[in-house]
Chains A and B, each alone.
Chain A
């Protein structure tokens, strides 16, 4: 799950990381009022789950409350990488002397939380990693001992020469590690970590991604979820216990298992079609899940055909068949449905489907080919 900058900053504040004050505005008037309250120059920052906000024109400096209002009116409603901006963060502009990068991720290779810091901050860190890898210092943290004080100090020395700033940065590393663990994050990033002209060290941006698997035990983090910034069909799918990702094609796919779902999308492409979505109905499916899945798929006007690909293991084919029959009674589906079922209770499923006037295939390739033909308007 992604959270917004203003939410990540609030988590940082709770852990003692120095962060400038900020307020969230949903209208230009609110933005102007907040800018007036802070006084002086402020920054208006789009709050959207996307990188590259600055390049897209979603971050602007305002020298007066009126200017803040006019920037906000332009940023609110704009789209950054297909995501609509409906909130801006108003925060006092800082007097920046230097910009550094601090990142913490769970690293697959070392199987540990890993810090990455660089004195070259404020820019795309992937670019620094590609062009000047020596400018990045890495540290693997042993989760059994946590980030030890000498390790935090070592990271800080890669950023600053001044002892006071080194100590301030070391404290921030430790606080960031705590925030990361207590939020169940998979990524936490400060880009940039700045020093001001007067020598203070501050985090003026904040990014956190949360491991979805942590949410069951972190209700306070789950509350930060912003459904308005997600695709409505993906929200609906999550509530129904399905994993759904919308794509651009017209072959609606309904599959059990993530690997098979991806392979099905690939096979649609192989036979000359384009998948409309990724949809995994999960392991122990019940008929209601299938009904929800069909509702979500058919809500997309681009979809020309629905393809079921079920390999029954824990998932029982008869459950899926019952779901298809129930759904077609509840929803008016005017496009063809191609069904492939094999595995647990396959015979029962075929019987249920035949009684309801559907036919079912057992071969994945044949089913995908047929679905692609329907999508191209070639029938069969």
Chain B
């Protein structure tokens, strides 16, 4: 099994003819994802690579292709509207890859998406990969194989690092989810932990966090109260100085809150094994899997 995406995923790509959209659409198709439609205003009626029909609007794409999931590769100026449009068209799962979406836009997108009953992943995230079934986003397909570990992370390349190290030790994954590094986004650590707990094939969970905010602390308490499966964690940013934004819009230590130390402590206090280095995740997971 897997969470949020699987062989039943029917994907519409918003911004399919753009530079990133077209590159990653080919990668997703190669991986086996069912890409059933694309959207680029003005290009409705054309085909992408002679195989994927393009529509002017998401509404039309959903009506014609039965898409249930969308992935967004449009520039930041249009990303909020793309999320509104997908939710309004009845898409159940919306993955926004776009980096640089204004946070005030997200304060309006989030309640709209919630009211429509859709799930949002991102923005500013690498998407997700359900090993051997479907990938939605930009995570390289060759760095993980099917296996018993569920992984959720706030970052992109750090996720690849950890997943590849697990692969090197012969450990595969059910689903790897990158929730993104923005202060206001869709799917949270807790949403992923809930889904992994319910997924019968996931036997252990990796949580990769970073400085800024309190999502990791909330996740740690949730694990203590609601998760029966073993959870292993890693927190990036132990050497980050306060008050400086470390790349991600959300990765900033404000005052004395949001430090790596505080998050690592919260993990320890709630029974989550904490890896000192990305490499140490492997040993902790091997222990957890017995």
The yes or no answer to A260 lying at the interface (CB within 8 A) is: yes
Q: Which of the segments B53-61, B83-91, B107-115, B191-199 contacts the partner chain?
A: B107-115
Number of A positions contacting B (CB below 8 A): 52
The yes or no answer to A137 lying at the interface (CB within 8 A) is: no
Q: Is the CB of B238 within 8 A of A269?
A: yes
The yes or no answer to B230 lying at the interface (CB within 8 A) is: no
Q: Is the CB of A259 within 8 A of B244?
A: no
Smallest distance from the beta carbon of A297 to chain B beta carbons, Å? 16
Residues of chain B within 8 A (CB-CB) of A243 are: 247
Majority SS at the chain A contact face: mixed
Cβ contacts A245-257/B at 8 Å (1 or 0 each): 1010000000111
The yes or no answer to B71 lying at the interface (CB within 8 A) is: no
Give which listed residue, B143, B164, B239, B278, contacts A269 with CB less than 8 A.
B239
The yes or no answer to B248 lying at the interface (CB within 8 A) is: yes
- A108–B211 Cα distance when bound, in Å, is 13
Q: Is the CB of A247 within 8 A of B157?
A: no
The yes or no answer to A208 lying at the interface (CB within 8 A) is: no
The yes or no answer to B156 lying at the interface (CB within 8 A) is: yes
Q: Known interface pairs A216-B77, A257-B157, A275-B239. Does A280 touch B104 (Cβ–Cβ under 8 Å)?
A: no
Q: Is the CB of B157 within 8 A of A313?
A: yes
Residues of chain A within 8 A (CB-CB) of B155 are: 257-260
The yes or no answer to B160 lying at the interface (CB within 8 A) is: yes
Residues of chain B within 8 A (CB-CB) of A255 are: 157
Q: Is the CB of B110 within 8 A of A266?
A: no
Most buried by A among B99, B103, B139, B255: B103
Smallest distance from the beta carbon of A153 to chain B beta carbons, Å? 23
Number of B positions contacting A (CB below 8 A): 60
Q: Known interface pairs A108-B213, A262-B240. Does A364 touch B160 (Cβ–Cβ under 8 Å)?
A: no
Q: Known interface pairs A108-B183, A108-B184, A365-B279. Does A258 touch B107 (Cβ–Cβ under 8 Å)?
A: no
Q: Which of the segments A40-48, A109-117, A168-176, A320-328 contacts the partner chain?
A: A109-117
The yes or no answer to B15 lying at the interface (CB within 8 A) is: no
The yes or no answer to A212 lying at the interface (CB within 8 A) is: yes
Q: Is the CB of A217 within 8 A of B77?
A: yes
The yes or no answer to B237 lying at the interface (CB within 8 A) is: yes
The yes or no answer to A308 lying at the interface (CB within 8 A) is: no
- A108–B23 Cα distance when bound, in Å, is 33
Across the two chains, which residue of chain B brings its CB closest to A275? B239
Q: Is the CB of A344 within 8 A of B140?
A: yes
Residues of chain B within 8 A (CB-CB) of A211 are: 102-104, 249
Most buried by A among B20, B184, B247: B247
Q: Is the CB of B161 within 8 A of A126?
A: no
Q: Is the CB of B140 within 8 A of A313?
A: yes
The yes or no answer to A163 lying at the interface (CB within 8 A) is: no
Q: Is the CB of B138 within 8 A of A263?
A: no
The yes or no answer to A184 lying at the interface (CB within 8 A) is: yes
Q: Is the CB of A313 within 8 A of B126?
A: yes
Q: Is the CB of B159 within 8 A of A259?
A: yes
Q: Is the CB of B107 within 8 A of A112?
A: yes
Cβ contacts B198-235/A at 8 Å (1 or 0 each): 00000000001011011100000000000000000010
Q: Known interface pairs A108-B213, A266-B239. Does A343 touch B104 (Cβ–Cβ under 8 Å)?
A: no
The yes or no answer to A314 lying at the interface (CB within 8 A) is: yes
Q: Is the CB of B156 within 8 A of A259?
A: yes
The yes or no answer to A198 lying at the interface (CB within 8 A) is: no
Q: Is the CB of A278 within 8 A of B103?
A: no
The yes or no answer to A380 lying at the interface (CB within 8 A) is: no
Q: Is the CB of B239 within 8 A of A214?
A: no
Across the two chains, which residue of chain A brings its CB closest to B244? A245
The yes or no answer to B76 lying at the interface (CB within 8 A) is: yes
Which chain B residues have a beta carbon within 8 Å of chain A's beta carbons? Answer: 20, 23, 76-77, 99-104, 106-108, 110-111, 126, 138-140, 143, 153-161, 164, 181, 183-184, 208, 210-211, 213-215, 234, 236-241, 244-251, 255, 260, 276-279
- Taking A211-B102, A259-B155 as known contacts, 10 extra A-B pairs with beta carbons closer than 8 A to each other, sorted by chain A number, are A106-B104, A108-B215, A144-B108, A214-B102, A247-B241, A257-B158, A261-B247, A262-B246, A266-B260, A314-B138
A-B contacts, 15 listed (Cβ < 8 Å): A108-B214, A108-B215, A109-B214, A143-B107, A184-B104, A211-B103, A259-B155, A259-B208, A265-B239, A266-B236, A278-B246, A311-B164, A313-B160, A314-B20, A364-B161
For the complex of A and B, the 3 pairs showing the least CB-CB separation, nearest first, are A259-B155, A258-B247, A257-B157
